[in-house]
Amino acid sequence: MKRSLFVLFFVGLVSFAFLAENLVNVADAKRKTRDLVFEEDEEESPSAKAKEDIGKVEKVALKTTIELLRDGKKSTVLPNHEFKSGDRVKFIYTTNTDCYAYWLSQGSSGDYYMLFPHAKGGMDNEVKKNEIYTIPVKGKFRFDDKKGVEKILVILATERVPELEEAVKEAAATRGKVAASAAPVKSVEKKQKAKRKTRDLVFEEDEDEDTGISTKTQTAASAAEPFVVYYELVHN
């Protein structure tokens, strides 16, 4: 009888500890997710440097964190975190303005794969200011045994970008692969890089280790300028 009571007590204690740990993980994730919301001063106040370089400016910003599931434990980390085989991840992001979002990955061949919009996650890529979204829309990405760097490209625009819309159509017919439309996508990238060098666009970034949130900002004379963001996920 005493042995049975001890076993029941031990099982109950382990269950309570497991529940408490999961509640802490969930609460911590929710706290950090709330940090993704843009405050009013973040939304509307370009930096002094941007004002000096451009004059009249429009600001588009992206806050991103990665939800990491490793060995049964959930946490939020920066995109520059080092990942390992078996890790499951998803991007959590929000923007400071209504816009259209395009998420792509790029392999060593140079071909792109459309992560969003995607037939499995939805083809409507219009995102709303301060609404929280995930990539993938459902489930998580899993790191396999092949080590390397996963390149992620994000393009935000307040208007649909014709070159990217063609890539979306191609991807819908090829299970996500973008080959024929790769050159137009690359041209959008190159154009924005060139404008950053001439200071037509001002790009700023901030990474907060405590919250695991990366904030990237583009300031331009027009909000219609596509905003190009890169992430490299290192798998060691």
Query: What pTM was computed for the model?
Result: 0.80
Q: Measured between alpha carbons, how far is 236 from 222 in angstroms, rounded to an integer?
A: 40
Contact 153, 104 (CB under 8 A): yes
- How many domains are there within the chain? 1
Mean pLDDT of 164-190: 92
Query: Tell me, what's the pLDDT at 5?
Result: 42
Q: What is the pLDDT of residue 26?
A: 41
Range of the domain at 77: 35-235
Angle at 127 between CA 186 and CA 82, to 5 degrees: 60
Residue 29 has pLDDT above 50, yes or no: no
CB atoms within 10 A of CB 141: 19
Return d(Cα 130, Cα 111) in angstroms, integer: 31
Task: Give the rounded percent of residues in the chain with a pLDDT score beyond 70.
Answer: 77
- Helices (H), ranges, the chain: 2-34, 40-44, 48-54, 162-173, 182-197
Q: Tell me whether residue 4 is in a domain.
A: no
The mean pLDDT of the chain is 82
Mean pLDDT, residues 152-167: 94
For residue 19, being part of any structural domain is answered with no
The answer to whether residue 49 sits within a structural domain is: yes
Q: At what angle do helices 182-197 and 162-173 cross, to 10 degrees?
A: 150
d(CA 166, CA 119) in angstroms, rounded, equals: 15
Nearest C-alpha neighbor of 178 from the set 228, 121, 106: 106
Q: Is residue 170 part of a domain?
A: yes
Residue 54 lies in a domain: yes
Residue 28 included in any domain: no
End-to-end CA distance of the chain: 51
* 128: CB partners within 8 A, 6+ apart: 98
The answer to whether position 73 is within a domain reads yes
| Predicted local distance difference test score (pLDDT) of residue 108 | 64
- pLDDT > 90 in the chain, percent: 57
What element of type H or E holds 94?
strand 88-95
* Residue type at position 212: G
In-domain check, residue 167: yes
Is the pLDDT at 122 greater than 80? The verdict is yes
Rounded-to-integer distance, Cα 65 and Cα 110, Å: 25
